[in-house]
Amino acid sequence: MSGQGHRTPSAPRLAVWKFASCDGCQLSLLDCEDELLAVAQALDIAYFPEATRAPIRGNYDLSLVEGSITTPHDAERIQDVRRRSRALVTIGACATSGGVQALRNFANVCEYASIVYARPDYIHTLATSTPISDHVKVDFELRGCPIDKGQLIEVISAFLAGRKPATPSHSVCLQCKLKGNVCVMVAHGTPCLGPVTHAGCGALCPSYDRGCYGCFGPMETPNAPSLSARLSSLGMDERALQRVYRTFNAQAEAFREESERHDE
């Protein structure tokens, strides 16, 4: 009744793991409608509980890890995942920088629990939400809230070919210029995090007449204080400036430091 299908023993074994998250990044794999069956032929999808009942067994060649570490149990579980994985790739903002749930890192988690739960004493949680790299060695980090599915296919293909993934580390701003968009900040005075945000989304928000809100996290060596000065001249107050860096990648170092500069 619950056949496990026929696996090619030689295909690399893929596992998809979930920690604290919304499931969106692993859904990106199921959203690759045109590529999913090809990926399934090239790889043995050996552990992917959202998609299959096949149980954990043995070791995996590639582990995709979604979600952040927020409980004592998960802090132990990620050690086991690392031991079972030849390569470990984090997918998305939660696994790479702690996610939106890392807003607790700037607050009191007991107070948070008392707001949501009638019986906070039933809840076992850590005071912080932390990225996977705080706990184990990570071989590659794919950014985004959510990840871009084209980039996911690139990372899986690169792994199969034994090469480094071709995912640019420049800013959304550069991607936006390459796309030929009119600058929303220069032309319309719309606050935009594009100059400090990691590329990967295809400069989506500016393409929809909206400022970038930083869901791919900071680029390499961003100049956030300079951008903040510009945002301030566009009328953002200190509180708004702090909030703009404290969303889906609040715990990422460059965004955390900049948000703390605007503590009231």
Partner 1 sequence: MTSRTISVGALARVEGEGGLEITVRDGVVTSAALTIFEPPRFFEALMRGRAFTEAPDIAARICGICPVAYQMSAVHAIEDALGVAVTGPLRDLRRLLYCGEWIESHMLHVHMLHMPDFLGYAGGVEMARDHCDIVRRGLAIKKVGNEIMTLIGGREIHPINVRVGGFYRAPRKSELRALGERLERALEQALEVVRFVAGFDFPDCARDYVFVSLRHPGEYPFNEGRIVSSRGLDIPAREFEANFEEFHVQRSTALHARMRHGDDPYLVGPLARYALNFERLSPLAQEAAREAGIGSICANPYRSIIVRAVETVYALDEALRIVARYEEPEAPHIAIEPRAGVGFAATEAPRGMLYHRYRLEADGSIAEAVITPPTSQNQGLIEEDLKSLVGAFLHLPEDDLRHRCEQTVRNHDPCISCSTHFLRLDIDRG
Helices 224-233 and 238-245 meet at what angle, rounded to 10?
Answer: 140
With b for 16 or more beta-carbon neighbours within 10 A and e for fewer, the 205-244 pattern comes to bbeeeebbbbbbbbbeebebeebbeebeeeebeeeebbeb
Pinpoint the alpha helices (H) of 72-171: 72-84, 93-97, 109-116, 149-161
Which position among 11, 12, 27, 158 is part of the footprint of partner 1 (CB under 8 A)? Answer: 27
**# residues contacting partner 1 (CB under 8 A):** 70
Most distant pair of Cα atoms in the chain: their distance: 65
Tell me which stretch binds partner 1 (CB under 8 A): 94-102, 164-172, 223-231, 254-262: 94-102
Shortest Cβ 119–partner 1 spacing (Å): 5
* Contacts of partner 1 in 199-258 (CB under 8 A): 201, 204-205, 207-210, 213, 215, 240, 243, 247-248
Quick check: 105 binds partner 1 (CB under 8 A)?
A: no
Q: Which residues pair with 197 in a beta bridge?
A: 218
Contact call for residue 98 and partner 1 (CB under 8 A)? no
Interface with partner 1, residue 64, by CB under 8 A? no
User: Does 3 sit near partner 1 (CB under 8 A)?
Assistant: yes
Calpha distance 193→217 (Å, rounded): 10
Alpha-carbon distances of 21 from 18, 70, 72, 175, 236, rounded to whole Å: 7, 10, 16, 27, 30
Q: Is 117 in the site for partner 1 (CB under 8 A)?
A: yes
In the set 131, 146, 195, 218, which binds partner 1 (CB under 8 A)?
146
CB of 174 to partner 1, least distance (A): 19
Query: Quick one: which of 13, 15, 16, 48 contacts partner 1 (CB under 8 A)?
Result: 48
Residue 11, sorted as left (phi over 0), alpha (psi -120 to 50) or beta, turns out to be beta
The reply to whether 109 sits near partner 1 by the rule CB under 8 A is yes
Neighbours of 62 (CB within 10 A): 22
SS3 (DSSP) at 45? strand
Selected from 20, 227, 252, 254, the binder of partner 1 by CB under 8 A is: 20
- Give residues in contact with partner 1 (CB under 8 A): 1-6, 18-28, 30-31, 33-34, 36-37, 40, 45, 48-54, 70-71, 73-74, 99-101, 103-104, 107, 109, 111-113, 115-119, 122-123, 125, 129, 145-146, 201, 204-205, 207-210, 213, 215, 240, 243, 247-248
